[in-house]
């Protein structure tokens, strides 16, 4: 079940919000847990057992870590819990890649193919479970002694499928006592509407453009290949950022406050800045639980490079069981090392526009590699972008340029902090009209986006969700 589907919007969400706000607070987490399990079991009821298994393992793992009298024993329980978590993730997500790679060796060529369906959201809730065990071990949070509360944390449907990755210590107090105010609820509704508009009105449209151009990038011409790459760049941002906004909005409706996951990443002037703004919860997870424990910046340059290599190889692997994702992670490793030790200072002295062009060019190329089925296909597409195509463009590129210009204009507005600039300008004017616009404007805009999104959902059938793959 996806947030931008009519069954979720017209049935599931309405029932959950209504019942949750009617029930006394002491029963709300239990009801929310049931709703989480129903949400996750929709379409794949078998895999809810894997989630329940993860809940039980990590709940009792946290309790056992807390009860151990020595650090050594705590560490043993911690390692065992992490191994179980990562083993489950490895079997379901990476078994196919492992066996497929072994089959390239003649001695193992007879191995049967392995194809295991990927449980939705397993990468996200596994990382949440691992962070919980580590935080308990580090004494950064107390172990949960309420199975219902902990199960609710692991299975929270707003951020279960695509994040943000939420740490237990950040929501523990909210699980025990939430302040559900009309102001918080209203802001959640508006944030959800904005997120749905990003997904339905923008991401879906550019997804169709990418599918068309990527089918035959050489025939599309050089400009057509660039149009397709830019389309996917917009699709993945508005798909993922839109889903994150919807998750945060749903959280507010239920009394939870989740961390911001995107901070206008496409205004970045370097790759380093881009990764401070893109998928923030994942970046900070790897920083806190992998990079810093490995030594971080507290060691020599060679060791720093090794630490960064490990982080980015794992980041790529986290995204999917394909060598393209590992190559994508190594691509960013090379760029980040380069900015850190080689050309970062020279880059900072360039005009802002050139810095931005540099960052976006490298990010666009990275998304081509990220989306490709294999490295060969990625290289073929990039070759078309840089002149391998027989023509500059074909008629399709011209047609789609004319067809998608309204969405492109909306993307430019949505990808830039235009809203923040307008709000700041109106606040500075401090007139009766400006104060009225600050109050009424967001509400009217949200309603308009909601109406347009519903119309698109009812009339359209193209509604993919990219991060279901992860």
The model's pLDDT over 387-418, given as tens digits with 9 standing for 90+, comes to 776 767 666 666 666 676 677 777 777 777 76
Per-residue confidence at 463, pLDDT binned at 50, 70, 90? low
pLDDT at residue 389, as a whole number: 67
Higher pLDDT, residue 227 or 436: 227
Higher pLDDT, residue 259 or 464: 259
pLDDT at residue 216, as a whole number: 79
pLDDT at residue 41, as a whole number: 85
pLDDT at residue 469, as a whole number: 53
Let me know if 316 is exposed, middle or buried by CB neighbors in 10 A (0-12, 13-18, 19+). Answer: buried
Q: Which of 32-36, 207-211, 338-342 is least confident?
A: 207-211
State yes or no: pLDDT of 352 exceeds 70: yes
The model's pLDDT over 288-347, given as tens digits with 9 standing for 90+, comes to 999 999 998 888 889 999 999 999 999 999 988 889 999 999 999 999 999 999 999 999
**Is 319 annotated in the active site?**
yes
pLDDT at residue 271, as a whole number: 96
pLDDT at residue 269, as a whole number: 94
Q: Which of 120-124, 139-143, 195-199, 432-436 is least confident?
A: 432-436
What average pLDDT does range 1-10 have in this prediction?
78
pLDDT at residue 212, as a whole number: 80
CA-wise closest residue to 54 among 92, 96, 9, 103: 92
Per-residue confidence at 104, pLDDT binned at 50, 70, 90? confident
Per-residue confidence at 465, pLDDT binned at 50, 70, 90? low
State yes or no: pLDDT of 467 exceeds 60: no
Q: Which residues have CB under 8 Å from 308's CB, separation 6+?
A: 291, 333, 336, 337, 340
Higher pLDDT, residue 167 or 103: 167
pLDDT at residue 437, as a whole number: 63
pLDDT at residue 163, as a whole number: 74
The model's pLDDT over 122-180, given as tens digits with 9 standing for 90+, comes to 889 999 999 999 999 999 999 999 999 999 999 999 888 777 899 999 999 899 888 87
Per-residue confidence at 116, pLDDT binned at 50, 70, 90? confident
Q: Report the percent of the chain where pLDDT is more than 90.
A: 46
Residue 210 φ/ψ, nearest 5 degrees? -60, -45
Q: Give the C-alpha separation, 23 to 44, whole Å.
A: 28
Q: Give the C-alpha separation, 126 to 87, whole Å.
A: 10
Residue tagged active-site, from 21, 145, 319, 356: 319
Show the tokens assigned to 94: 């990476």
Q: Which residues have CB under 8 Å from 55's CB, separation 6+?
A: 147, 150, 151, 154, 155
| Average pLDDT over the chain, rounded to an integer | 85
Rounded to two decimals, the pTM is 0.88
Let me know: does 114 contact 96? Beta carbons within 8 Å.
Answer: yes
The model's pLDDT over 86-101, given as tens digits with 9 standing for 90+, comes to 999 988 888 877 777 7
Long-range contacts of 86-92 (CB under 8 A, 24+ apart): 86/126, 86/130, 88/50, 88/53, 88/54, 88/122, 88/126, 89/122, 89/123, 89/126, 91/116, 92/50, 92/116, 92/117, 92/118, 92/119, 92/122
């Amino acid at each position: 079940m996806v947030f931008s589907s009519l069954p979720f919007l017209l049935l599931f969400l309405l029932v959950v919000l209504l019942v949750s706000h009617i029930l006394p607070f002491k029963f709300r987490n239990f009801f929310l847990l049931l709703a989480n399990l129903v949400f996750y079991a929709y379409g794949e009821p078998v895999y809810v057992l894997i989630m329940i298994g993860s809940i039980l393992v990590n709940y009792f793992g946290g309790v056992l870590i807390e009860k151990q009298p020595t650090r050594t024993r705590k560490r043993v329980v911690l390692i065992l819990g992490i191994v179980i978590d990562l083993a489950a993730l490895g079997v379901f997500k990476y078994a196919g890649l492992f066996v497929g790679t072994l089959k390239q060796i003649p001695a193992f060529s007879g191995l049967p193919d392995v194809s295991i369906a990927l449980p939705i959201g397993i990468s996200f809730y596994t990382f949440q479970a691992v962070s919980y065990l580590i935080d308990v071990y580090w004494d950064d949070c107390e172990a949960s002694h309420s199975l219902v509360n902990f199960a609710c944390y692991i299975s929270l449907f707003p951020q279960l499928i695509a994040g943000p990755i939420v740490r237990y210590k950040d929501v523990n107090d909210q699980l025990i006592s939430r302040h559900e105010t009309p102001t918080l609820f209203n802001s959640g509704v508006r944030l959800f509407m904005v997120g749905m508009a990003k997904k339905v009105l923008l991401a879906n449209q550019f997804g169709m453009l990418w599918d068309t151009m990527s089918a035959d990038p050489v025939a599309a011409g050089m400009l057509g290949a660039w149009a397709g790459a830019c389309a996917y760049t917009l699709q993945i941002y508005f798909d993922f950022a839109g889903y994150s906004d919807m998750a945060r909005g749903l959280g507010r409706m239920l009394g939870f406050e989740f961390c911001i996951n995107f901070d206008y990443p496409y205004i970045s002037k370097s790759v380093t800045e881009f990764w401070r703004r893109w998928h923030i919860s994942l970046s900070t997870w790897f920083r806190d639980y992998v990079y810093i424990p490995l030594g971080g910046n507290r060691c020599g340059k060679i060791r720093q490079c090794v630490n960064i290599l490990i982080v980015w190889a794992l980041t790529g692997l986290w995204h999917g069981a394909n060598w393209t994702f590992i190559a994508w992670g190594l691509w960013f490793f090379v760029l980040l090392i380069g900015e850190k030790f080689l050309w970062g200072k020279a880059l900072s002295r360039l005009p802002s526009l050139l810095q931005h062009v540099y960052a976006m060019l490298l990010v666009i190329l990275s998304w081509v590699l990220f989306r490709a089925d294999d490295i060969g296909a990625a290289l073929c597409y990039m070759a078309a972008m840089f002149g391998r195509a027989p023509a500059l463009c074909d008629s399709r590129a011209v047609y789609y340029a004319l067809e998608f210009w309204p969405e492109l204009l909306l993307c430019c507005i949505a990808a830039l902090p235009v809203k923040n600039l307008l709000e700041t300008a109106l606040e500075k004017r401090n007139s009766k009209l400006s104060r009225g616009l600050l109050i009424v404007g967001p509400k009217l805009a949200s309603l308009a986006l909601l109406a347009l999104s519903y119309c698109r959902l009812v009339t359209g059938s193209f509604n993919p969700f990219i991060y279901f793959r992860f």
